[in-house]
Structure 1
Amino acid sequence: MKKEESKSRLKKGMAKDIDGYIKLFPKEVQEKLKKIREIIKEVAPCAEEKISYGMPTFVLKGKNLVHFAAYRTHIGFYPTPSGIEKFKSEISVYEWSKGTVKFPLDEPVPFDLIREIVAFRAIENLEVEKSRDNSETLNDVNSKKNFNKKRQ
């Protein structure tokens, strides 16, 4: 881990909530973080906020939606590997890896792209929940069928 990032992680660990986390950074960084948070809340209003892994995290239907974090030279955006894979061509101009993309602080943050990624991830989480609900319903039906067979 780079020295600048380890310092940032120590700093982030002190925040109890997202408001507190954002206040730890310089004004110009705070504005970018606030805008990212606002976008996430607009796109996924039912998502819950928390600090996880020392960074702002949004959870939808019990699953991580996205995380974001500020560092000395960039904002890390963590939309899970599926979010990275889906938007690989759009994020190719940035430094990225399996689960994260780095938006340099000295460049405009691509808020429209963040909006698209969050929307994709929200749909993904909702589909997983819907799939889970359907499988539970099928399991309930199968259990009832098996119970009725045993009673006959």
Structure 2
Amino acid sequence: MKNNEGTNQSTDKSESELIDTFISQFPPEVQSKLQTLRQVIREAAPEAKEKISYQMPTFVLAGNLVHYSAFKHHIGFYPGASGIAVFKDELSKYKGAKGSVQFPMDQPLPYDLISRIVKYRVMENKEKAGQN
């Protein structure tokens, strides 16, 4: 039964479809990295919703958790300044800025580290939401 087409559930589905479309614009090897990254984030933040924000895939739970995208030579991962600061030693081998890190395209993504950063951001956002 496909009676739920056009209901409120389509909002989440359409966001997911937008992200699928976003990922599909990249070459297959990049798509694979982005899909795996997306799955790692989902597993680390199962309550989070997906949307497009700042023209890139974003996970949201009590505010933005992380954004990610692909570029010619790297995968950009944007956990915000706190997500970078807490893991600065482990991230020191990568290029980055206050709230972002660049994972080189020619190296495996550090999925365990990414998972820990996302879990930290979930905890941080939930704590902030509880204070309001």
Shorter-chain TM band: 0.7 to 0.9
Q: What do residues 19-69 of structure 1 show as CA deviations (whole Å, max 9, x unaligned)?
A: 0111010111111101111011111111110111110001102x1000001
When the two structures are superposed, what TM-score results if normalisation uses the length of structure 2?
A: 0.85
* CA-CA distance at 1:18 after TM superposition: 0.8
Q: Which has the higher helix share?
A: 1
Rounded to whole Å, the distance in 2 between the matches of 1:30 and 1:95 is 22
Percent identity between the two aligned chains: 54
TM-score of the aligned structures, taking structure 1 as reference length: 0.74
Query: Could you tell me which residue of structure 1 aligns to residue 24 of structure 2?
Result: 23
Matched position secondary structure for 1:29: helix
Alignment match, 1:72:
72
The within-5 A match list for 1:28-107 is 28-61=29-62, 63-107=63-107
> Counterpart of 1:25 in structure 2: which amino acid?
F
SS in 2 for 1:76: strand
Instruction: Tell me which structure has the larger Cα radius of gyration.
Output: 1
Amino acid at match of 2:111: F
Give the partner amino acid of 2:127: E
2:122 maps to 1:122: yes
Give the count of matched residue pairs.
116
Q: Which runs of 5+ in 1 are unaligned?
A: 1-15, 133-152
List structure 1 runs of 4+ shifted beyond 6 angstroms: none
Distance, in Å, in 2 between the alignment partners of 1:90 and 1:96 is 12
CA distance in 2, matches of 1:17, 1:45: 19
Matches of 1:45 and 1:123, distance apart in 2: 13
